[in-house]
Structure 1
Amino acid sequence: MKIGVITFSNSKDNYGQMLQIYAMQCFLKKMGHECFLIRYTDSPKAKASFKWSKAITYLCRFPQYAIWYVQQKKERRQQKVYATSAQSSNILRRFDEFLRDNIEMTPKIYDETSIINNPPQADAYVCGSDQIWCGDWAYYLNFASENAIKIAYAPSMGGITNFSPEYEAQMKRLIHRLDFVGMREQSGVEVCKRLGRTDAVQVVDPTLLLDTKDYDKIRIPVATPKPYLFLYLLGNPIGYKTKYFYDYAASQGLDVVYVASQGKVDDYEKFPAQVGEWVELLANAEMVITNSFHCTVFSLIYHRRVVTVPLVGGYERMNTRINELLENAGLEDLILNKELEYYQQDDWDFSGFDMYKNSELKRTSDYFDKIIGSKSI
């Protein structure tokens, strides 16, 4: 069956975005389907918004937001200084090259008008994963014909649960067109149920549907000091200075290989890894420290010692998916809430994660077999 997948694909520095595209396509191909990525450019319109009834929540959290705002202003000033080097780093990451070499995709890039007027042709469509369900209606498969199979697999609302009445009404209409709704977070499942999709379920991120042998195919060798700590930080705020992680690594006799998104600004040298190099660096690390969901996922897949740093400053809702993952795998202790020395033990047990991952792979495979086999094309 020919399946078109739509998700975010335009990042120049988000490794998780590239790897979830690869994982979804690889998974569907392993199931025997022809799969392609629908390249799409977002519109500035149709963004979800919070209800004013939540205003009291924002006011209660004002001190947190104020601290975050000051920090953001400081980082924006620093980013002006680092802007040229950041752009150079993104070029060296070669994300476009990764997509070209590893992903089947549409020749053209669609926008909200062209995807309606001349949609890519497929027997079935998948929207997901990533935080796509707060924006353009294309990510709800509004362009797909009534006869096509329509699947939402692991889209996220980023922890948002309240929207403007206009946005929510359109969302409700579109999700009722879907043949299957599987959300990445339980909070998204609850929103869908509130909107009438009582059959919505929670599913895992597509990166959890593959094994190391699948990711080993894209690894690129990197010359590194050994042993080393792999530090991967997104630009979202955390309650620790980068120096804290470097000081810990030094105390353990570890060098540091530091990769970061463009939004992370500090005075430490960063390596602009290609996607395959990022996987290679993680897979060979003595230890991993990150505030990234996908970096946590890959650390667990490769059985690396990982410590996950929670987000702060108004971004706490984005910790949900990491918390849920670690709880399901019985690894809640991997969230950084103690001194780093606490995480030094050698007897890390990944058996619970492996069991969880294998059971979710079977469950997801069963979902797709049932959905795709339930309609005649």
Structure 2
Amino acid sequence: MKIGVITFSNSKDNYGQMLQIYAMQCFLKKMGHECFLIRYTDSPKATASFKWNKVMTYLCKFPQYVMWYIQQKKESHQQRVYATSAQSSNTLRRFDDFLMDNIEMTHLIYDEESIMDNPPQADAYICGSDQIWCGDWAYYLNFAPENSIKIAYAPSMGGITDFPPEYETQMKQLIHRLDFVGMREKSGVEVCKRLGRSDTVKVVDPTLLLDTADYDKIRIPTTAKKPYIFLYLLGNPIGYKTKYFYDYAASKGLEVVYVASQGKVDDYKKFPAQVGEWIELLANAEMVITNSFHCTVFSLIYHRRVVTVPLTGGYERMNTRIYELLKNAKLEQLVLKEDLDQYQLSDWNFRDFDMYKNTELKRSTGYFNDILATKSI
């Protein structure tokens, strides 16, 4: 079956975005389907409108977000600083090359008008994963023909549960067109059920549907000096300075290989890894420290000792997906709560994670088999 997948795909430094695209396509191909990425550019107007809704939600419903404005000012400055140095680093990351070499995709990059006027042809369409349900209607498959199979697999709302009435009305209409709705977070499941999709289920991120053998195919060797801590930080605020992680590494006699993305700014030297190098560095690390969901996922897949640093400063809602993952893997203790000295450099127990991952792979495979086999074009 020919399947078109729409998700975020334009980042130049978000490794999780690239890897969830690769995972979804590789998983579907292993099932025997022909799969391609639908390249799409978001509407600035829709994105800006939704961001404003987020602001109002924070300020009105959560007292702790009264500091949101101050944090945004800090982040705006951080982004300006980051932009001046990011261009050359992002060129070295070669994300466009990764897509060209590993992903089947449309030649045309669609926008909200062209995708409605002349949608890509497929038997089935999938929206997901990533935090795509927070803007353009194309991510709800509004362009997909009525007689096509329409699947939402692991889209996220980023923890948002309240929307403007007009947005929610349109969302309700579109999710009722879908043949299957599987959300990445429990909060997303609850929103969909509130909107009338009582059959909504929770599914795992597509990166959890592959094994190390699948990711080893895209690994790129590096010359990193061992042993080292792999430090991967996004620009979202955390309760620790980067120096803290370097001091911890020094106390353990370990080097630090530091990769950063999405606006992370500090005075430490960073390595602009390609996607395959990012996996290689993680897979060979003595320990991984990160505030990233996908870095946590890959650390577990590769059985690396990982400590996850929770987000702060109004971004706590985004910790939900990590907490849910670690709870299901019975590894809740890997969330950093006080200091790193509580973690001994001994083996983590990944048995429960492996069992959870295998169970979810069977469950997701079953969902796809059922909907693709029983729905006629």
TM-score (norm 2): 0.96
Structure 1 residues 67 and 116, CA gap change in structure 2 (3 angstroms): closer
Name the aligned partner's letter for residue 72 of structure 1.
Answer: E
- Which residue does 2:328 correspond to in 1? 328
Tell me if 1:315 matches 2:315: yes
Percent of aligned pairs with the same residue?
77
Residue of structure 1 equivalent to 2:204: 204
Distance 1:226 1:33, change over 3 A: same
d(CA) in 2 for partners of 1:75, 1:112: 30
How many positions carry a matched residue from both structures? 373
Cα–Cα, structure 1 residues 70 and 40, in superposed 2: closer, same or farther, change >3 Å? Answer: closer
Give, in whole Å, the separation in 2 of the partners of 1:283 and 1:197.
39
1:57 matched to which residue of 2? 61
Query: Is it true that 1:72 corresponds to 2:64 in the alignment?
Result: no
Per the alignment, residue 364 of structure 1 pairs with 364
Q: Is the 8 A contact 1:45 1:136 kept in 2?
A: no
Cα-Cα RMSD? 1.5
Q: Do 1:159 and 1:318's aligned partners in 2 also have CA atoms closer than 8 Å? A: yes
Deviation at 1:187, TM superposition (A): 0.1
Check conservation: 2:305, 2:347, Cα contact below 8 A.
no
Following the alignment from structure 1 to structure 2, what is the Cα–Cα distance between the partners of residues 46 and 67?
24
Alpha-carbon distance change, 105 to 62 in structure 1, aligned in 2, over 3 angstroms: closer
Q: Distance in 2 between matches of 1:43 and 1:63?
A: 29
Deviation at 1:85, TM superposition (A): 2.5
Q: Contact 1:50/1:164 (CA < 8 Å) preserved in 2? A: no
Change (3 A) 1:73 1:18: closer
1:263 equivalenced with 2:266 (yes/no): no
Structural mapping, 1:233-312, within 5 Å:
233-312=233-312
Q: Does the Cα contact within 8 Å between 1:51 and 1:162 map onto a contact in 2?
A: no
Deviation string 1:144-191 (CA, Å, 9 cap, x unpaired) is 001000000000000000000000000000000000000000000000
Q: Secondary structure at the match of 2:46?
A: coil
1:289-313 C-alpha deviation (Å, 9 max, x unpaired): 0000000000000000000000000
> What is the identity, as a one-letter code, of the residue corresponding to 1:298?
F
Please name the residue that 1:232 is paired with: 232
Q: Match for residue 25 of structure 2?
A: 25
Cα offset for 1:127? 0.2
Corresponding residue of 1:35: 35
Rounded Cα–Cα distance in structure 1 between residues aligned with 2:247 and 2:223 = 23
Give the AA of the match of 1:92. L
- SS of residue in 2 equivalent to 1:45: helix
Aligned equivalents of 1:340 and 1:242: distance in 2?
13
Deviation at 1:84, TM superposition (A): 3.5
SS of match in other structure, 2:341: helix
TM-score, normalised by the number of residues in structure 1: 0.96
Task: Give 1:54 shift.
Answer: 6.6
Q: Give a deviation string over 1:84-119, Cα, whole Å, max 9, x none.
A: 331100000000000000000001100000000000
Offset of 1:339 from its aligned partner? 1.4
Q: Distance in 2 between matches of 1:163 and 1:197?
A: 17
Residue equivalent to 1:338: 338
Alpha-carbon deviation of 1:53? Answer: 7.5
